[in-house]
A and B are shown apart, each in its own frame.
Chain A
């Protein structure tokens, strides 16, 4: 056996020991003690990922007369009527230059009072960048560009992790790495309520993937298997048994984590106070956010002081039928986030929860029946700690191959995801030094530009 192989097996052994050292029934009391010795506050970041690439043009719509005309001219079959936008025109506390005005899509009306109350900020033209990039530099290819621009899976990954598909950790997970030791039960540091995303994997932090209805109990263990308690016990043994085969071992690691975490979370959630906030029915994003609200309300019972959540909604890849499909998606988003924000107010933790949107990329502004893959986009940050009621970043010029787009209204981002993430991370408690490791491209920006101040 060669040295690297031996070292590798030792690492595997270490992983296995870590797994089995944890008794299956985790003591909630013990976790509470562990938590009490760490930070006394609580904060959560909630990423709302809009899979498929949200159409920025019909999300935050140019409203002042001259820019509306340009917008309408580039997508005559997709554009909102200007009159329909009047009720959702945003009135920021800090006006944009040149009398630029935007309106929210009418379906985002639920955001309007949150913006007016100063608890929602609008981030203009944010996207993936490796370093500050001008149109001239883009054209001359004289700077490093993000890899695999305009590709769904890769740009999802770059947004979430700074690297294309194949990345092993994301910035949510890397933030989790810094805080999991302070949580009574590290399992609940990074929680994904919508499947699997690299965003929440850290170097040590493991994303806990939970169903929107909470942990799924294993019936064959919780009840005698076809009448046999001995078989239930045997089942538990074999499904969690370590194996020398790497794939078998990883599968049983997932199963062990599921059973252990599921029991403690189920116990905690059973004590969650019923919320009077009504979450909209038939809204899969709201269902996910409702579980997040319930987990936040019982965070102390699982010893969690810092949590990063991810929820998501798919369906945004509207190459076709954008005018019929996209408005419904926006309603789903606004209704879900609005209800979640209400729930954080009800729980008295609104200033400890910061929710933000993200997506693969923006889209083209030109379009017939739909729009194509783009780059920079508009995003929202919501929470009691947000310095809201205003825009951050720079409003892009509405054009086809103008100074702020790389053709077809594909926005060249003027703010990077790293700056957006750094702002969220610093609020969460990440030091400026640690931000540079969490966000490897951040050092390309001047120190004074790294954090944007929206929260």
Chain B
């Protein structure tokens, strides 16, 4: 299959014309029909008493970590239920229609789409922007950046269905058992395709060729245990001053023998429908390595059944002491902060190892512990000049879309592939350039204040001279309603637009949890005040300009 390892490459697509300087007149009628509850007061109305006594800003900040983006309804809901109550409600929310079913319902199973990716970006964005189970979507996105596949590398037909079924699989497992999730991932055809063990054959004595080592290596290095032994708090376990490798080449060669003989399951049919892409892989016994398999100090005896062998192998790997800290720290980085304290990691990893009822790898319990931890919730910690994370570009787009309840009247959700750094987001759902994700968890921007402070900042790996500008250009189109037919509801903002201060206060709250500095806010307010007011078109210009400036402000771009 196509190689999955390279750093992000900047490729310019056709340039967009600068058609976003003025507002399309027809757009206002669409806006008038949409509604946005509880927005008219601009945040001045006192919130109802809440279990946790939460302010609107507290709630907005929580949602920046726990959802695809805050809006007025969500803020009120968090205030009403408290953090834990809101999480409980989200855990129990039913899933929206699966990506798979959406593709079927929208006709993408037609044979003409067999060798395309048609429909994938649409359904991926539709879920991220519009699915009501916002916590589950946030976790699904995070999991897709830990257990990485990418649609371009899902070699073979029906890539859109393969990508959809993989994301559906992650979504179904988002609040479930980590062990079960690893089992399903390992048997999924998309992963089999992406890391090339679908079709991997046993050792060939004639040529000396050994089974494909791709999945064996990345399963351990990237998905479960990492390269070196860790303490429960994810700091390095040292002997003297030396680290200990978790595995060597012999372990990979041994484990690779487990991932032989697996192949797609046509179930007696053929590839004219995508159904087989969704089925777990099955065994082709003639390719399966029946000999013993030794790795990580475990030996699976010769003659062990293939599925049993795979299950035993995953049991051995997922009970390695590195799994809890390795996974917990990365999930914290995806949701809350790039540099969690070791104690915070240890608290979450402890819950990973035992949810309090003896269960290991209970992801619901892990998510709850992670988001309710004092380090995530403390206003004092949040005020530190090192806390937080760069919002990844996909989450910046969804923050805007969720805040203003974006809809796609056509149902097409034509956001597109947003991978291009120069013209879009340098990132797009399930389109990492490699199995190493868009950015590495330990990335440090060189020659930066962050490096001087010995901190990590993963998302900065895709923040460069092109992408920082490409993002603003892209959002200018989005804000103006020129991104496909994505239609925001600015009705609440328009009622505030004649009062620049109120308009910016509202944006600061909903988008940035009041984290934009007073001086930046003053600069923006003065600028917006200079735009004429009092007419529908001038109000719309004020809203557009204020929105774009807030979305471009480092105070928004860095989630704290």
Contacts and interface: CB of A to CB of B under 8 A. Distances in A.
Contact of A319 (B21, B214, B451, B530): B214
A251 B554 contact: yes
Contact of B209 (A148, A156, A313, A367): A367
A204 interface: yes
A196 B448 CA distance: 15
Nearest to A233: B527
Nearest to B554: A248
A211 B442 CA distance: 25
B3 interface: yes
A113 interface: no
A315 B9 CA distance: 12
B460 interface: yes
Contacts of A239: 472, 552-554
Most chain B beta carbons < 10 A, residue from A12, A148, A220, A373: A220
B531 A11 contact: no
Interface stretch (B78-86, B400-408, B462-470): B462-470
A131 interface: no
Interface stretch (A90-98, A163-171, A345-353): A163-171
Contact of B465 (A8, A75, A215): A215
Interface string A228-250: 10110111011101011111111
Interface string A36-59: 000000000000000111000000
A73 interface: yes
Nearest to A372: B213
Given A51-B7, A220-B476, A208 B465 contact: yes
Interface stretch (B200-208, B315-323, B341-349): B200-208
A217 B476 CA distance: 13
B208 A166 contact: no
A253 B449 CA distance: 10
Interface in B514-560: 517, 519-520, 523-524, 526-528, 530-531, 541, 544-545, 548-549, 552-555, 557-558, 560
Interface stretch (B120-128, B165-173, B325-333, B384-392): B384-392
Contacts of A432: none
A227 B526 CA distance: 15
A217 B18 CA distance: 11
B466 A211 contact: yes
B390 to A, nearest CB: 6
A317 B5 contact: yes
B514 to A, nearest CB: 14
B466 A210 contact: yes
Residue of A168, A211, A226 contacting most chain B CB atoms (<10 Å) = A226
B428 interface: no
Contacts of A84: none
A238 B385 contact: no
A227 B541 contact: yes
Contact of B227 (A148, A247, A257): A148
A408 B9 contact: no
Interface residues of B, number: 98
B212 interface: yes
B252 to A, nearest CB: 8
A198 interface: yes
Contacts of B462: 195-196
A192 to B, nearest CB: 8
Contacts of A249: 449, 554
B446 A168 contact: yes
A141 B184 CA distance: 39
A193 B421 CA distance: 12
Contacts of B541: 226-228
Interface string A72-96: 0111100000000000000000000
Interface in B134-157: 155
B434 interface: yes
A379 interface: no
Interface string A165-191: 110110001000000000000000000
B465 A262 contact: yes
Most chain B CB atoms below 10 A, which of A53, A227, A250: A250
A247 B388 CA distance: 8
B93 interface: no
A209 B527 CA distance: 31
A268 interface: no
B44 interface: no
A225 B23 CA distance: 12
Given A153-B440, A234-B527, A74 B6 contact: no
Contacts of B208: 74, 366, 400, 408
A415 interface: no
A88 B448 CA distance: 48
A223 B463 contact: no
Given A15-B449, A231-B545, A238-B549, A319 B196 contact: yes
Nearest to B457: A247
B50 interface: no
B554 A151 contact: no
A251 B557 contact: yes
B445 interface: yes
B12 A315 contact: no
A428 interface: no
A258 interface: yes
A231 B444 CA distance: 33
B267 interface: no
Contacts of A275: none
Contact of A370 (B212, B447, B519): B212
A289 interface: no
A235 B446 contact: no
B436 to A, nearest CB: 5
A11 B454 CA distance: 13
B201 A219 contact: no
A224 to B, nearest CB: 8
A313 B6 contact: yes
8 nearest CB pairs, A to B:
A314-B6, A51-B6, A317-B3, A234-B527, A52-B3, A201-B446, A213-B12, A209-B464
10 contacts: A51-B434, A194-B7, A210-B10, A216-B423, A241-B554, A250-B450, A251-B554, A320-B212, A367-B207, A408-B209
